[in-house]
């Protein structure tokens, strides 16, 4: 699923990120939301997005 989204440059997806430092370390957090993804397992019918 994420491979196909990456191939499409995450078109229509939302991306968020934050970077910061604290407690002696630097960290970055990044989230990509893929809405209405194709190829989810059959038991995931109520899922509207994957992040």
CB atoms within 10 A of CB 37: 17
Q: pLDDT band at 26, cuts 50/70/90?
A: very high
> How far is 10 from 45, CA to CA, in rounded Å?
22
| Token output for 23 | 């407690």
Question: pTM of whole model > 0.85?
Answer: no
Q: Are 8 and 21 in contact (CB under 8 A)?
A: no
Q: pLDDT band at 3, cuts 50/70/90?
A: confident
> So what's the pLDDT on residue 51?
66
Question: Is the pLDDT score of 36 beyond 90?
Answer: no
CB of 17 closer than 8 Å to CB of 28: yes
Average pLDDT over the chain, rounded to whole? Answer: 80
């Amino acid at each position: 699923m994420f491979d196909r989204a990456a191939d499409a440059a995450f078109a229509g997806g939302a991306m968020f990120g934050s970077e910061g430092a604290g407690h002696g370390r630097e960290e970055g957090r990044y989230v990509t939301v893929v809405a209405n993804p194709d190829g989810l397992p059959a038991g995931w019918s109520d899922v509207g997005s994957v992040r």
